[in-house]
Amino acid sequence: MDAALDEFAAHLSQIERASEHTQRAYLSDLRQLAEFLAGRGAVLDGATRDDLRAFLASRTGANAPATLARKQAALRAFYEHRVRRGHLQDSPARRLAFPRRRTSLPNVVAVDDCFGLIDAPNARILLGVRDRCAIELLYGAGLRISELVGLNVVDLRDDVLRVLGKGRKERIVPIIAKARTALNAWLARRDELKPRSDALFVNRHGGRLTARTIARHLSRYALIAGMRRHVHPHALRHSFATHLLDMGADLRGIQELLGHASLSTTKKYTHVSSERLVQV
């Protein structure tokens, strides 16, 4: 099993260029499947379609539809890879039916609350300057949290950022004036944390800041700003897109700013604006 998973992991990383999050999730799903099969006296390469159906059925009560869909995608990708490598003649996951996913509207933060979040960090202390800059880029540039923590100082170009998105696709994102001011303020003090790499955002020990740390700080700043809700970093990206759309921005332009491969992914924000229009 380990050899098969190692080979698949190399395929995801080097050929598919999947994100680290996707790699971890797929491999975790496959190890879960291997454990389930062991209880039935089977192995990964000997699994049948009924085995895979039984595995997904066993997870139905414990996992949301979106998680089940991801597990099925992991199974399909793994067994298709095994067929291509000549280890199997046919994929047992080929004719699995995808579970129906509920469509949900993006979680959007109000404009005033976004401004409150940005003002929450204490600009008189070093870490407050860093955190304000991070929030400015999450909201003002619509970055994914993985794109934010992956930024390096050498990536800066005038009034634009070069970010590495999903599938390691590079895109250029404009920086608004307030984000540029916050970025300059942080760069002027960044060396005080004695960075051990060229990471743009570093922790108090000089290492690259993690997505989990930023999410934890954002929750704390939401409380400081008086918000009665949890704010996830991705909610600021949703808010960036929705607020642009509310102000009359073109959907195609928003797609480019967000780095969506398909316009259908961006179209969900039109439903958010419709909901808000009805409320108003």
Q: What is the pTM assigned to this prediction?
A: 0.68
Q: Name the CATH architecture for the domain at 111-279.
A: Orthogonal Bundle (1.10)
Distance CA 53, CA 42 (A): 14
Residue 52 has a pLDDT of 93
135-176-208 Cα angle (round to 5) = 40
Going residue by residue through the chain (280 aa), what tens digit of pLDDT does each one get? Answer: 688 999 999 999 888 888 788 899 999 999 999 999 999 999 999 999 999 999 999 988 888 877 888 899 999 999 999 999 999 999 999 877 765 555 565 678 888 999 999 999 998 999 999 999 999 999 988 898 988 999 998 666 678 888 887 767 788 888 888 999 999 999 999 999 999 999 999 999 999 999 999 999 999 999 999 887 788 898 898 888 888 888 888 777 888 788 777 776 677 777 666 666 566 5
List, by residue number, the catalytic residues: 144, 166, 234, 237, 260, 269
Instruction: Work out the number of other CB atoms within 10 angstroms of the CB of residue 235.
Output: 22
Per-residue b or e along 202-216, where b marks 16 or more CB atoms closer than 10 Å to that residue's CB: beeeeebbeeeebee
Residue 204 has a pLDDT of 92
Residue 277 has a pLDDT of 57
Q: CATH number of the domain at 2-84, please?
A: 1.10.150.130
Written as six digits, the tokens of 88 are: 């199997």
Domain boundaries, the chain: 2-84, 111-279
Q: Are 87 and 45 in contact (CB under 8 A)?
A: yes
Distance CA 95, CA 51 (A): 13
Q: 156: closest CA among 126, 133, 139?
A: 133
